[in-house]
Amino acid sequence: MPPKSVKLNGGAASYVASADDFSYADLDLIFPMDVENSDSFDKVREAVFDTIMDMMPSANKTKINADTLKDVYIGKMVKVSGDDDRWSLFSLHNDFGRCIELKFVDKMRRQFEFSVDSFQITLDPLLDDFNASDAKVYIESMFGDVHQ
């Protein structure tokens, strides 16, 4: 169940799209995906935790378990599984800067609270070939027509 794409969302996407000086609080990444059942989110959680473990220095890995990872690195974990909403959020906290929020979405009624947070930038062209000089990155507003 790999994600369909990777999207930069919210204030950070608005920051990239804006010509003005625009601030943002955290880095929101959305991973759209097809979720077969609620157990799929357990697999997502395992994958997130495994990735955090892979990125840690090897000296620290022997004493770390899932509960410790959650306490140390995860500021917030949410799983929503209903008729209109099916998504999971992992907020990686950072005491010294912006937090990173990973949101795995099958269905979500509303992906933003304010119109300024409705921008999404599909990052796949950059992830496929980071050094490509002609990579096209698409910015879209989930709110609707930005000119209105």
pLDDT tens-digit series, residues 35-71? 877 678 889 999 999 888 888 777 667 778 888 888 8
- Provide the residue-wise pLDDT of the chain in tens; the chain has 148 residues: 677 889 998 888 888 877 777 778 889 999 999 887 767 888 999 999 988 888 877 766 777 888 888 888 898 999 988 888 889 999 998 888 788 999 999 988 765 554 445 778 888 877 777 777 777 777 777 665 554 4
- Would you state the structure tokens that stand for residue 74, as one six-digit string? 């995860």
Distance CA 14, CA 134 (A): 22
Strands (E) in 7-117, as ranges, are 7-9, 26-32, 74-81, 86-92, 99-107
Q: Do 137 and 125 form a contact (C-beta atoms < 8 A)? A: yes
pLDDT at 31: 92
Phi-psi group of 144: left, alpha or beta (phi > 0 → left; psi -120 to 50 → alpha; rest → beta): left
Taking the model in full, what pTM does it have? 0.80
HSE-CB for 36 with a 13 A CA cutoff: 7
Report whether 119 contacts 100 (CB < 8 A).
no
Reported as half-sphere exposure (CB side, CA atoms, 13 A), residue 95 has a value of 2
| 57 Cβ contact partners less than 8 Å away, ≥ 6 residues apart | none
pLDDT of 26 reads: 86
- In one-letter notation, the amino acid at residue 43 is K
